Amino acid sequence: MKGALVFWPPTASARAAEVDHVVIAFTVVLLCLTVPIFLFMTYCAWKYRAGRAADRSHPQARNLKIELSWMLIPFGLALIFFVWAARIYDDELHPPPNALQIDAIGRQWMWKFQHPGGQAEINDLHVPMNEPVRINLISQDVVHALYIPALRIQMDAIPGRATFLWFDADRAGKYRLYCSEFCGTDHSRMAGTLYVMEPKDYEAWLAAQGSVAGLAEQGRELFSRFGCSGCHERGSTVRAPSLAGLYGSPVPLEDGRIVTADVSYIMDKILYPDQNKIAGYKQKMPSFDGKISDSDLLRIVAFIRSIGTT
């Protein structure tokens, strides 16, 4: 693939190729700065191996320009690489708002992926090509880490906390995915395959999985079953915050901060409602920590994401 080294895993996205460019450029600069020094040290060790008395009678020689150059040039190069890498890192933190959202649960020792239409798969993940994909991660037991070498991305899946990664794969094919965080006896077997497909092939694959209720529809049923609708729907006697249009909107907190209602925020409010109290409301919501499974939690979040502004 263009932009990748021949002895590295192939790249399946433009960002992965750019990560390779950073690594290659940094390695070249590092070699240019260090190899001459070690060669000169080797040469001096060989030439003056017999040794002789040193003449220290002459005054110490200094060259301010040389001393400044070997400090400022590496410092300037380090700043260039910092800005370059920071831009890539910042891009990884801001997925497009229209990204396809797929939920992933890590547990010993498998990955479970759930598509918006309700389709689920174990250890394999099918995604469309040339379309941004956001994977919302959560762990059911210990810390795992979803690692896809061809995309040069990795993110931890942490119990009780939502994390995410996103990518825009531009090359169809099959690529390996792994758990890169030691998570127990069968850690090495916690692997699978990423299938990047043409959009029409992806739609055909979704249709072939059969007719299933979408995650949002499943979440709507759970929303009522767990009693959430009794407080958060219109006409409730309890003054609870409206969930219409909540996802992606700013939320003012009691301590003066304003946060964005993303997947992590919504999950935290369901599991730990006493944290990040909302301004203007008295906290009455019970905690659902230990009372709701990770799969059901993701379904409820999918339903809240789907609620419009009306």
Summarize the confidence of residues 207-216 as an average pLDDT: 68
Give the pLDDT confidence of 160-190 residue by residue, as tens digits. 788 899 999 999 999 999 999 998 898 988 9
CATH of domain 215-306: 1.10.760.10
Task: Supply the angle between the helices 215-225 and 294-306 in degrees, to the nearest 10.
Answer: 110
Q: Do domains 100-208 and 215-306 have the same CATH topology?
A: no
User: Angle at CA 261, nearest 5°, toward 307 and 300?
Assistant: 45
Q: How high is the pLDDT of residue 7?
A: 67
* Cα separation, 210 vs 177, whole angstroms: 25
* Cα separation, 2 vs 13, whole angstroms: 10
* Cα separation, 151 vs 165, whole angstroms: 11
Domain regions of the chain by residue span = 1-41+67-94, 100-208, 215-306
Do residues 197 and 129 touch, judged by C-beta distance below 8 A? yes
Give the pLDDT confidence of 52-88 residue by residue, as tens digits. 777 777 777 777 888 888 889 889 999 999 999 999 9
pTM, two decimal places: 0.70
Q: CATH assignment of 100-208, given 2.30.29.30, 1.20.120.450, 2.60.40.420, 3.20.20.70?
A: 2.60.40.420
Do residues 183 and 144 touch, judged by C-beta distance below 8 A? yes
Q: Between the ranges 55-64, 186-195, 206-215, 244-253, where is the mean pLDDT highest?
A: 186-195
* Cα separation, 39 vs 63, whole angstroms: 22
In this structure, the number of other CB atoms found within 10 A of the CB of residue 302 comes to 25
* Cα separation, 63 vs 68, whole angstroms: 9
- Dihedral angle over CA of 292, 114, 267, 280, nearest 10: -110
Give the pLDDT confidence of 1-29 residue by residue, as tens digits. 444 456 677 888 989 889 989 998 999 99
